[in-house]
Amino acid sequence: MEILRLYDFLPSGNGYKIRLLLTQIGMPFERIEVNITKGETRTPEFLSKNPHGKIPLLEIEPGKYLSESNAILVYLSEGTEFLPYDRFLRAQVMQWLFFEQSSHEPFIATSRYLISILGKAEEYQEAIKQRREPGYAALKLMEKHLSANQFFVGERYTIADIALFAYTHVANEGGFDLTQFSAIQAWIERVKSQSGYISINQE
């Protein structure tokens, strides 16, 4: 089998999800840095690989690509301990993955991008302000769930935790205050203590 190639941008939480899972599974991969702040996902060459112009992008074998971070997580975790085999538990994992992409990432990740990656908090203050309330709503929902559960699904660490951890643990970089969310904070520590854990800035 060819080695997996991951087109990635180190500060990206979406890219980090894949790096973290691959490392925890123990699957070797080659990481190719693509700087999204310099338009490197918009070149004709990159667009020929992913017409959507986004990272992470996984090259499974030469010329065979898969995009969308959470779709990549599902693909890589099938048959591993990180995706439950039980049909309803697996459905709950999917539920949290879609929640992450529709109700969490657009607000929390985007705020972090504007403030800490682009460093343009002033220029984008209106966009950041609009994301405050829905971002906190997502965190409150997570807090409620984690107040009664150790992990998101089935009381075990799964890709649902990986997907939600990626941007939650750096939410402060998007101006979100996590100190009021004690269950989230305890869960962040549980995730960090998992075997094979790597940090977001670790290549």
Q: Which two tokens stand for residue 193?
A: 């203590």
Q: 80-139: which residues touch its own copies (CB under 8 A)?
A: 87-88, 90-92, 94-95, 97-99, 101-103, 105-106
For 72, list phi and psi in degrees, rounded to 5. Answer: -65, -40
Q: Which is nearer to its own copies, 148 or 189 (CB)?
A: 148
Residue with tokens 């790597």: 198
- Report the C-alpha gap between 201 and 33 in whole angstroms: 12
Q: Please, how many CA atoms are within 13 Å of residue 110, restricted to the half-sphere of its CB?
A: 19
CB 2 within 8 A of CB 61: yes
- Report the C-alpha gap between 164 and 162 in whole angstroms: 6
Q: 21-60: which residues touch its own copies (CB under 8 A)?
A: 51-52, 60
Q: CB of residue 113 vs its own copies: minimum separation in angstroms?
A: 14
- Give the residue, chosen from 3, 27, 32, 71, that forms a contact with its own copies under the rule CB under 8 A: 71
Q: CB of residue 108 vs its own copies: minimum separation in angstroms?
A: 13
- Give the residue, chosen from 10, 66, 178, 183, that forms a contact with its own copies under the rule CB under 8 A: 66
Q: According to the binding rule CB under 8 A, does residue 197 interact with its own copies?
A: no
Residues 6+ apart with CB under 8 A from 21: 73, 76, 77, 82, 159, 162
Q: Which is nearer to its own copies, 106 or 154 (CB)?
A: 106
Per CB under 8 A, residues contacting its own copies are 51-52, 60, 64, 66-72, 74-75, 78, 87-88, 90-92, 94-95, 97-99, 101-103, 105-106, 141, 144-145
